Amino acid sequence: MFKSLSFVIVAGVVLTGCSGVRESNLNPFNWFGQSQPVPVNTQATGAANPLIPAKRNSIVWGDNEETYAGAPVETISALSIERRPGGAIILVTGTANRAGPFEVRLVPDETATDGDTLAYRLLALQSAGPVSVRPDAREVKAALWLTEQQLGGIREVQVSGRSNALVSRR
């Protein structure tokens, strides 16, 4: 009886002390904070030479890489990063400027040169259609899985659209 009562008292004291860990960096759910708006860089860096191919074609493997002709969505409305065992999931919600966007992708942005930032662009294929329709007909969502190795040393994740960008920092 005495052992079980002392165990309950010790467990109660230990668990009440855990409430301070909720807002600390020790809690893995706090590793990425809320997303914040940042300005969009619209100028090209010009660092890459367009005459030199980034990937060399091989006779054996051929050129299996298809080109994706997606256009940036108009605005990024939400960015959240959910920690999962083995990595994290980036969830992005955006609004396209035309109705009926399809085949939405998060594509790495090569213009970001910072080593501790992952930068992506939210792209979608869009057919010709009316521009001003219900926002829910233009809403797109995309998700991307990143492993812990890909997140190693990363301090912020930035997703940009045509008119804005959102960033989530650790």
Distance between CA atoms of 143 and 28, rounded to whole angstroms?
A: 20
Q: How far is CA 129 from CA 85, 93, 133, 135, 142, in A?
A: 41, 21, 10, 14, 22
d(CA 135, CA 20): 41
- Residue 12 DSSP label: H
Contact (CB, 8 A) for 73 and 161:
yes
pLDDT of residue 67: 78
What pLDDT is recorded for position 110? 81
**What pLDDT shows up at residue 159?**
93
Going residue by residue through the chain, which has 170 residues, state the pLDDT in tens, using 9 for 90 and above: 777 878 788 777 766 666 666 666 667 777 777 778 888 776 655 566 666 666 666 555 555 556 778 889 999 999 999 999 989 999 999 998 888 888 999 999 887 767 788 999 999 998 776 666 666 678 899 999 999 988 888 889 999 999 999 999 87
- Interatomic CA distance for residues 1 and 107, integer angstroms: 62
pTM greater than 0.75 (yes/no): no
Q: Which sequence spans correspond to the domains of the chain?
A: 68-170
The pLDDT score that the predictor gives to residue 53 is: 61
